[in-house]
């Protein structure tokens, strides 16, 4: 079985009488070590899809297997444990805790998996160093540039050795040059550490860093193809 496998996934939001079909019958498989970009215009359901496979949200119907495990019907705490151990998130708006140092932000997932304080600090410092943030450990998010904040977020996503990294428009708030740097960082992670990366974006040149592109439109998959590296 694949690392991520969805079968007939449907999500309906209760808006008004009808309900909005955000996802219609999505069956997708993603293997370990892949670098997948999910593309589509806003409202196409790509973020909803990512939230469901990221265990942040539950589908209305259909099944989802993560590493062979049925996700539907798990409790909140079981989902929290999966997010904590298996999935790292990187968001467009960084989603770092304000008034909290980079180091403490990175420590957060370790805090919730009950890693002892000393080990928490060591691992977080290592993750920050890997992201090239030496010397910024005690800076607060408002003292860091956008690119640096996103690197802190990536460090946070990776600190618990999560095998999957989900990035929702990670470069949406960054300039082109910084965007390139962040994307190269992700490519490196995928290539060197074997981290499975699922990237949601609507920018073709960002998606071009991936090796497979799944396109969404109106809650459905309209294409799913390998990227040909020139």
Give, in order, the Cα–Cα distances in Å from 114 to each of 85, 104, 109, 119: 11, 14, 9, 10
- Secondary structure (3-state) at 211: coil
Does residue 151 bind another protein (CB under 8 A)?
no
Does 19 contact another protein by CB under 8 A?
no
**Nearer residue to another protein within complex by CB, 89 or 216:** 89
> 164 forms bridges with which residues in the sheet?
87, 196
d(C-alpha 82, C-alpha 213), whole Å = 25
What residues numbered 165-204 form the site for another protein, per CB under 8 A?
A: none
Could you say whether residue 111 binds another protein (CB under 8 A)?
yes
How many contiguous H segments (helices) and E segments (strands) does the chain have?
7, 11
Considering only 21, 24, 25, 57, the residue that binds another protein (CB under 8 A) is: 57
Cβ proximity to another protein: between 54 and 62 the closer is 54
- By the rule CB under 8 A, 46 interacts with another protein: no
What is the smallest separation between the CB atom of 173 and another protein, expressed in angstroms?
15
Q: How far is CA 193 from CA 54, 71, 78, 213, in A?
A: 20, 26, 26, 21
Size of the site for another protein (CB under 8 A): 26
By CB under 8 A, which span of 8-16, 26-34, 72-80, 194-202 interacts with another protein?
Answer: 72-80
Q: Which two tokens stand for residue 172?
A: 């949406």
Which whole-number Å values give the CA distances from 197 to 144, 165, 172, 188, in the listed order? 25, 5, 17, 11
* One of 1, 56, 193, 222 touching another protein (CB under 8 A): 56
113 contributes a contact to another protein by CB under 8 A: yes
- Binding residues for another protein (CB under 8 A): 51, 56-57, 76-77, 80-81, 83-85, 89, 91, 95-97, 99-100, 108-109, 111-114, 117, 156, 160
């Amino acid at each position: 079985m694949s690392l991520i496998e969805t079968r007939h996934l449907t999500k309906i939001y209760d808006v008004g009488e009808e309900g909005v079909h955000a996802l219609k019958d999505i069956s997708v498989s993603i293997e370990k070590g892949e670098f997948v970009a999910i593309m589509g215009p806003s409202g196409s359901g790509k973020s909803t899809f990512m939230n469901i496979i990221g265990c942040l949200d539950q589908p209305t119907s259909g099944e989802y297997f993560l590493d062979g495990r049925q996700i539907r019907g798990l409790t909140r705490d079981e989902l929290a444990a999966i997010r904590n151990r298996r999935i790292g998130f990187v968001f467009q708006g960084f989603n770092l805790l304000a008034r909290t140092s980079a180091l403490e932000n990175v420590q957060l997932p370790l805090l919730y998996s009950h890693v002892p304080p000393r080990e928490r600090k060591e691992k977080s410092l290592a993750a920050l160093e890997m992201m090239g943030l030496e010397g910024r450990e005690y800076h607060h998010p408002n003292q860091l540039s956008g690119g640096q904040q996103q690197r802190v977020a990536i460090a946070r996503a990776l600190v618990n050795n999560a095998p999957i990294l989900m990035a929702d428009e990670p470069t949406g708030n960054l300039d082109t040059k910084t965007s390139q740097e962040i994307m190269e960082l992700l490519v490196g992670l995928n290539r060197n550490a074997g981290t499975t990366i699922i990237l949601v974006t609507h920018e073709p040149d960002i998606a071009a860093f991936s090796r497979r592109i799944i396109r969404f439109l109106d809650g459905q998959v309209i294409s799913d193809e390998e990227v040909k590296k020139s």
